[in-house]
Each structure stands twice: as structure tokens, then as C-alpha cells.
Structure 1
Amino acid sequence: MSVEDGTYHALLARHDAMRLRRRLLSPGSGPDGGTGTRPPAGGPYDGAADQRTIMRHLDLVAPFDELITHLYRALFARHPSLRSLFPASMEFQQAHLARAFWYLLEHLDQPERIVETFTQLGRDHRKLGVRPAQYAAFETALCEALRVRAGEHWSEELQQAWVRMLRFGVTAMVRGADAALREPPCWRATVTGRRLYGPDLAVLRVRPHEPFRYRAGQYAALESARLPHTWRPYYLAGRPGGDGELEFHVRRTGPGGVSEALVRHTAIGDEVRIGPPKGNLTLGEEPRDELRLVAWDTGWAAMKALLQEVDGRVRPAFEHRTHRTHRVRLFLGVEAPAEVYDAEYLTGFERSRPWLTVVPVTGGGPGESPYDGLAREVIRGGPPTTGRTLVAGPPAMVRTVTAALVHAGVPAERVHHDPLPSGTLRVRPDDRGWAHE
């Protein structure tokens, strides 16, 4: 695409965003321009009321996988061209949408959390080629799917509650996409390094074709040229601002997916695409007292970046003799010794940093989850009385460690991790983690 084409499409996307925003915020406009399903502009959205309505009638449209199947069938029947925006297999996309619906349902009484999450989601969805006006087509398809699932029990009240919920999330997504128009929707990058640790784990180094700015501890989605429109998130494993290259740790989790394409079929010189950086697993102000980092397997990538960030802050303080007493403890868990990787780097890093203590953890006790062993090590000797704990790894591990810390008396606000798949109202178990498919 030429620079002129890129400018044109950016202006077109901005126009679409402005037009849809006016429609979303105007009273009296339904999905097809009919009956209003949103309160007047400026009026508060009573998400808790819609939450009660939807949950009261949830059995009419559940299970979500069937509702979503009808939704996409209606969407592609009305707009066949939209099918090209999605991967060949819709399974992951349908599960992703189900989690988004559950997240909305669980947090309708906490609108600020929805705004924060869906603003980022709108920014991220630009890499898929989604234009703001296409959200209206999605809304119409949702209404059709609700009618099919609810059948004779369908009601205007139920549909309006669903549409208001969807529009609340979409409004945040449109604003997030519009605010990010000055940055690329995604970054092309060339693979410059590939190191295998066994048959199922690769450390990839890539060089973006344009500057890619992120914070230590964040993650980004990758797309392989072998699987267009299919993206999976992986942590960035280096401190920002180095030589311009990025490092990703990829564990192969199954056949035919993005992780297999990256681990087994990606070579130096190949091209990948990178989505915008995301995540809240970052350092705040100058760390004081004790900082605890807890990782499982490729969650180490996030901790590697954070350790480099801490080192960059601590080293000048040592040189100027202004360093305050500070300790960092890294708890690094794997299921079996054979899965330990990048050990040479970590050993050398720890040896020259007196402020760092590494606690390796392998597996768990008989009849228990391996994550239980990691949780025991984290709280061994009593819970931390000061400082923060940052946790990265599969959702089941994050839940186990977080629960152990809170049960031991650590305030929940001092335990940080990236958002997890919905827990209470989850569609199906999914413990594959941020760095996995």
C-alpha cells in the first residue's frame, strides 16, 4: 500500500468512526435505524439493570457457542465480504467472542473497567482490518441470532438489553481505534534470529520495519504468513529501546496453529506481523522494598524484560551511590527440568546483580497441580509485607498463585497480572495462557 493509499484509508476510517459515534450516541436509533435502544446522549447507562435482565433470561440464548454460530452465519450471509477478515477456522474467534460477551456481562456494573478494556480492544482490532462502520453490521447480526435462539420467548426487553450492552463496549472500541489512527494497525517485521530449545520451544528475534514502542512487561499478538488473520499473544522479552529488535518466546501447544508455524516453520528472513503492545504487567515508580516476580514457563519472557528494566534503574543509582536497599525475588516454575531454557542468560544475570535472588521451582507434589508447588514457594517464610508481586503464565497458574498470596494476607491490589479469561461465567476451561494458543 502506498503512502497516499494509507492516508486515504486513515481518513476513511476516521470518517467511519465519527459517523458511527454519532449513531451510537444519538437517541432513537436502533440497529436498523428504528426503535431506540440507548439512553439519550449524556445520560448514564444503567449497566447493572441490563446485567440483571440478560442473566435472568440467559437460558433462552445459551449456550454461547450456538448463539455465536448463528451470529456469524447471519453476518456473513448479509455481508459476504466480511468473511475475508477472519481466519479459515472460526473456532478460536468464536471462543474469543464468547469470552468478550462474558466479560461484558460480568462487568456491566463496573463501566469504568469495560471502557478501559474495550478501548484497548478497539485499538488492537485495527490489525484485523475492521473498520468502525462494520460494528453496525455485527449488531444487526446479533439481533438476528437472539431472535433465532430465543424463538417464541424473544422479547424487545431482552434484545434492547443485549444491544445496549454491545453498544457500550463498541463505543469504547471505536474511540480506542480512532485515538490510534496515528500509529500503524500492525507492524511488519523480519525474523533475524531463531534459537530452538527442544522440538517445541523457540526464541525468535525480529526487527520491525517501523519503530515499535512498548513498555517492559507488555505483550503483543503475532501473525505468521502461513496463517493469515490468525493472531496469538506473546510477551516481549527485552527492555525497550535497545537495538530495535524484539524477542518472543514461543511454546508449541498443538498442531496446525500459530505456535507450530512460529516454532517449526519460521526461518531467518521470514516476515511476521505484530499487533499493538498491550498489558498492565509493568513497573510503576522507582521500585522500593521487595519486588516479587512469579513466572511459569514462557511467562519468563515478561520477567526477563522487567529484570532488564529494573537493572536499568538500579545501575545508575549504584554508580552514584544513591541506591536504597532493594531486593527482587524471581520465582520461575516449570513442570519438568527438561523444560528449563535460557538458563545461561539468567545465571549470568543473577551472578552480577546482588539485588536479585532466583528461586527455581520444578513440578508439584504427588496428586497436586504443579502450580501448587510454585504457590508454596512464593509464600514460604510468610507473605511479603511490602512491595508488589507481578505474575505471568497460564491462567490456572496465575489464579493459583494469586489466591495463595491473598489467602496468606497479601492485599489483592499488590498482586498484579494481565487480564484472565472470565472465571465465574466461563464458556469452557481454557488454561492455555497468554503465551500459548
Structure 2
Amino acid sequence: MDLDTTSSTAEYDRLIARHHAMRLRRQILAPAPSFAAAPAGPGGAPGGDRPDARPAAGGYGAHEAYGAYDRDHDGAADQRVILGGLGLVTPFADLIDHLYTFMFRRRPFLRALFPESMEFQQVHLERMFEYLIEHLHQPDRLSSTLAQLGRDHRKLGVRPVHYEAFEEALCEAIRHRSGAQWTAELEAAWVRMLRFAVRSMVAGAESALTEPPYWHATVVGHERRRADLAVVRVRTGEPYPYRAGQYGTVEHPLLPHTWRQYSMGCAPRSDNELEFHVRRTGPGGVSEALVEHTAVGDRLRLGPPRGTLMPEDDTRDLLLVAGGTGLAPMKAIVEELVEHRPRGRRVHLFVGARARADLYDWQALTELGGRKPWLELIPVADDAADGPAGPGGRLAEAVSRAGDWSQHLACVSGPAGLVDEVRTRLVASGLPSTRIHHDPVLARL
């Protein structure tokens, strides 16, 4: 790519970013249409006898009225009602299947906002319902997570008015699933929970008006480290404002509207270049497209950075534990510490794999950590025994055997099962759970 082409591409990216920011501002600040008449309840009358059949004036676009509606919301009380009636609407897979069927039948134009395959989206929503219900009694924690999700959802083109259609479809699905045992109290609790979530997500979207909903990125490097794994390097035209340890969502042109999460495998760089470590997890998905069907010069889209894996206000010695491509955020953290390490801080990085041959980025790590007495790199392979090259066996066991971590700050990344196992062992050995950091379940969606 010559200099003129690179310059033109960067300028195009800057123009696109400004265009998206201006368009999003107009969309969010524009008055939203009022709610359509509530659909018929079990008794046949519009909305049945639901006390919340008529939303706050102005619909989801009127944030002041919406805030007043939620000010005295008793999340714990709604949590008890929803849990008490959970058997009526579960399994969530059936509830969600009816929800989307109804929504797309009533508003077919919304189908274009979703990927061709709805399987991942349905799992996403199922986990979100579980997360909402579990944390409904913790509004501050819930609001913070949902605000980040709302910021991220801007890349999908979601507007506040779209949540109206979702609420209507959710109420229809609840009535369908609960049948004759439907109650106004149960539906109202679900509606209040949804509206709390929407308010937080809209607030998150509004807080990010000065940044684009997504970034264009050009592939500048694609290296196969294994048959099923590639390190993909990209460069954005606009600075991508992430911190070491965070992740972003990636869309491949072969799969429009299909976004998957990948951690950045390097600390922020002045040349706007970043890398993703991608393992192919199955046929036909984003991971296969990135590993098998991506070349230098291809264009990807990146959603906003997310995650809080590495706290900024804690300078304790660090225990980093990475399994598989969970190495990516840990490598980024180590790179950042090479340049900006608090004086006296020591770092222990355990990297696990099924076999030593699967430690795909070990050479880069050893070069990065060479002659740095504050950094200890420990490879762990399932198929190996303890020896000079490092401990063997399961990663969680190797970490717990290696020392006393009770005074450390721990960051764990990798498959969900591994994260849970490491966390359980560290807590059992005396490390407070508040000092064990990993991305929450909702953030992985």
C-alpha cells in the first residue's frame, strides 16, 4: 500500500467517524414517537389489567419522564416476583424464541439489525436475562454494566424507539408462556426490569456521543501460529481508545451484523496498530472467517473497547493467569508494565495450554520479559510433568501450588471453566475474591 493510499484511507476513516458521531447525536436527541397501543392481554382488552400498560409519556425518548418512573424502583421486590414466577416463563430459550418471532412478525424491518443466524443472539439474550434477574437488587452495579453495554450497542444502529418494540414482544412472550397463570404483577415486574435496563443503556449511549459507534480497521498482518489459531494485526484510521487488558467486538465483512469479542493482545500504540489472538472455535463463524478467510488489506469493523480486567488504582504485586488465547490481554498488560510499572511491583504470569507446543506466543513473551527481574514467566502444559521447563498438570492446580498469593492482585483470562476453577482455588487459598479480576459473564456477550 503506497503512502497516498494510506493517507486517503486514514482521512476517509476520520470523515466516517465524524459522520457517525453527528448522526448518532441527531438520532438520540430527536423526539421519539409515543408508544403504540398496548397489545391485548389475556382478557382480550388492550393490555389486559396490567397497571403499567401505558408507559411514561414520550416513550423511551423522554429520558426525564423515564427517570422519574424508575426513581423509586424497588429492584429487590421485583426480583422476588420474577423469581417466584420463573417456572411459568422458562426455559428462556422458548421465551426468547417466541419474543423474536412476534417482534419480527409485527415489525419485519427490525430483522435487518440482526445477523442471519440468530443462535448466538438468542444465547446472548438468555444470559442477559439471567444477569439482570441475578443482580436486580444491586441497581448501581447493574446500571454501570448496562451503560457499557448501551455504549457498545450503538454499533448495531439501535435507537431508543427499538426498545419499544422489544418491550411489546417481551410482554407477548410472557403472556404466551404463562398462559392462564399470567398475572399483571408478574408482567409489570418484568417491564420495570426491562425499563431499568433500557434507561441505563440509553444513558451509556448518550455518554459516548463524541466517539464513533465503531471503528474501521485495515488488516496489516495475519500470522498463523497453529492450524486453528492466528494473530491478526490491524490499524485503525482514528485512535482506538482502549486500555491494556480490555477487549473489543469485531465484525468481519463475510458476516454482516455478527460481532464477536476478542481481547487486544498489545498495549496501546502511537501508530494505531493493535492485534487480536483468534482461535477457530467452529465452522461458519467469525473466528473461522478471521483465521481462514482474512488477508492483509481486508477491512474489519471494531466496536468500542470494553472490560475492566486490570484495575488502575491498585499497585499490589500481580498474579496473571492465562489459558489459551486468554494470553492476549495478559500480554497487553505486561507490555504496558514494561513502560509504566510502579516502582517495586513484581509480576507472575502463568500461561496454560494442553501441550507445550500449543504455547503459541511464548517466544514473543520471552523476548518481552527478557532480563526483567520483576517479571516471572511460568508455562504450564496439561500433558507435561513438573520439570525444569515449568510445572505440569492443570493450570489452576499449578498456580495454587506455586506460592502464597493472598497479598496479590490477580487477573484471570481464558475459557469460562478455567476462570471459575482458578478463582475458586485462589479464594480457598486465602486471596479475597474482591482482588480476583476477570470479565463478568455479561461482558463476554
Question: What TM-score do you get using the length of structure 1 for normalisation?
Answer: 0.86
1:312 to 330, 339, 355: 339
Q: Is the 8 A contact 1:31 1:139 kept in 2?
A: no
User: Which residue is equivalent to 2:430?
Assistant: 409
Worse overlay, 326-335 or 336-345:
336-345
User: Which residue is equivalent to 2:283?
Assistant: 255
State the 1:17 CA deviation.
7.8
Give distance in 1, aligned partners of 2:324 and 2:304.
23
User: Which residue is equivalent to 1:278?
Assistant: 306
Show structure 1 runs of 5+ residues with no match: 22-27, 318-322, 423-433
1:118 is the counterpart of 2:137:
no
State the 1:60 CA deviation.
0.9
User: Which residue is equivalent to 2:243?
Assistant: 215
Q: What residue identity is the alignment partner of 2:419?
A: V
Q: 1:8 to 1:379 in 2, by over 3 A?
A: closer
Q: Is the 8 A contact 2:98 2:173 kept in 1?
A: yes
Give distance in 1, aligned partners of 2:130 and 2:181.
22
Give distance in 2, aligned partners of 1:292 and 1:20.
52
User: Which residue is equivalent to 2:421?
Assistant: 400
Q: 1:53 to 1:364 in 2, by over 3 A?
A: farther
The count of aligned residue pairs is 405
Q: What residue identity is the alignment partner of 1:305?
A: A
User: Which residue is equivalent to 1:160?
Assistant: 188
User: Which residue is equivalent to 1:327?
Assistant: 346
Alpha-carbon displacement from aligned partner over 1:299-331 (angstroms, at most 9, x marks no partner): 1110111001111123xx7xxxxx43x321000
Q: What residue identity is the alignment partner of 1:107?
A: H
User: Which residue is equivalent to 2:43?
Assistant: none
User: Which residue is equivalent to 2:23?
Assistant: 9
State the 1:241 CA deviation.
3.1
Runs of 4 or more consecutive aligned structure 1 residues displaced over 3 Å after TM superposition: 1-8, 16-21, 28-34, 38-43
2:400 to 379, 382, 400: 379
Q: 1:250 to 1:31 in 2, by over 3 A?
A: farther
CA RMSD of aligned residues (A): 2.8
Give distance in 2, aligned partners of 1:46 and 1:340.
49
Give distance in 1, aligned partners of 2:140 and 2:185.
24
Worse overlay, 342-351 or 172-181:
342-351
Q: Is the 8 A contact 2:67 2:199 kept in 1?
A: no
User: Which residue is equivalent to 1:169?
Assistant: 197
Q: 1:283 to 1:3 in 2, by over 3 A?
A: closer
1:189 is the counterpart of 2:197:
no
1:299 to 303, 308, 326: 326
2:169 to 125, 138, 141: 141
Q: What residue identity is the alignment partner of 1:217?
A: G
Q: What residue identity is the alignment partner of 1:293?
A: L
2:412 to 388, 391, 413: 391
Q: Is the 8 A contact 2:307 2:439 kept in 1?
A: yes
Give distance in 1, aligned partners of 2:53 and 2:404.
53
State the 1:269 CA deviation.
0.4
Q: What residue identity is the alignment partner of 1:145?
A: A
Alpha-carbon displacement from aligned partner over 1:241-264 (angstroms, at most 9, x marks no partner): 332101000000000000000000
State the 1:169 CA deviation.
0.8
Q: What residue identity is the alignment partner of 1:12?
A: R
Q: 1:381 to 1:393 in 2, by over 3 A?
A: closer
Q: 1:52 to 1:7 in 2, by over 3 A?
A: closer
Q: Is the 8 A contact 1:17 1:178 kept in 2?
A: no
State the 1:209 CA deviation.
2.0
Alpha-carbon displacement from aligned partner over 1:141-192 (angstroms, at most 9, x marks no partner): 1011111111111111111010001111111001001111111000111000
Question: What TM-score do you get using the length of structure 2 for normalisation?
Answer: 0.85
Q: Secondary structure at the match of 2:231?
A: strand
User: Which residue is equivalent to 1:75?
Assistant: 103
Q: 1:245 to 1:43 in 2, by over 3 A?
A: closer
User: Which residue is equivalent to 2:270?
Assistant: 242
Q: What residue identity is the alignment partner of 2:260?
A: R
1:358 to 377, 380, 389: 377
Task: List aligned pairs for 1:20-169, cutoff 5 A.
Answer: 30=53, 41=69, 43-169=71-197
Give distance in 1, aligned partners of 2:163 and 2:436.
35
Q: What residue identity is the alignment partner of 2:373?
A: P
